[in-house]
Structure 1
Amino acid sequence: MGFRRGAYICRCKDGFYIPNKNKTNFVAQNSLDDNYFRGIAIEEAFISTLVGPTTGVDTFDPQNFICIPCEPGCPTCADDSPCFVHFNIFIRAVTLGVQSFCATITFMIAIAICKLRRSKVWHPPIS
């Protein structure tokens, strides 16, 4: 856009993202890299608070132009979703306990079968 008013972008640093991208008019739309604010939109919003609202421009609120930090451990992100899976330790412990119990019972049955494999089965006489 050259050297003219609003010909810049305010990009969020790595490790930060723009909240509510769908709800704001200040974010670049239809772009693969939409982690920045358009300079012309920022200036229009600021001017609208000084001279009065113009058509289609939201009022300037500094809270609309804040980059939010990503979840811990995320070098880059697009929203507030975590980068790593958070496990439910209770469900994992219950599953491990049931599985260990079944494996122990199976092992005990295998030992009993090995010990008793040569024993004769007694059938009562048929009368």
Structure 2
Amino acid sequence: MDTFTRSELAKLVGVNKETLRYYETRDLIDPPLRSRSGYRLYSNEDAKRILFIKNAQKLGFSLDEIHEILSLQTAKKNSRQTTTAKAQEKRRIIDKRIDKLNQLGNAIDRMMEAWERNETDASILAYLGEGTFLSEDL
């Protein structure tokens, strides 16, 4: 089994070495073994877990959600159903964010079109002040 110091592991998985300590305080990774000289020694399993955490974050999962998923994985009690439900809920949240961003983009387009049609020197700030291009749910 390969072992890595904190600096080596941080470089290997592409995180700051303080991130490893933070993950440890959040119980996302187990406390590492120590060498005789006191260095923290991490394993390949630690590297895999950190990559899992980073990939889950890229998908929009918070560290609390990741901790819960990792706990389910360890407990193995209904973990597949619960993890699937969590992924589905995250997808619903992402879809809502996408809808909101599309609405915001459309509102900006409407504002720009209204501003460009105006032949006066009214600033874009005036259009922002009016807010007529915004829908009620923004």
TM-score w.r.t. length of structure 1: 0.31
* TM-score w.r.t. length of structure 2: 0.29
Q: Rg bigger for which structure?
A: 1
Higher relative contact order, structure no. (Cα contacts within 8 Å, ≥ 6 residues apart): 1
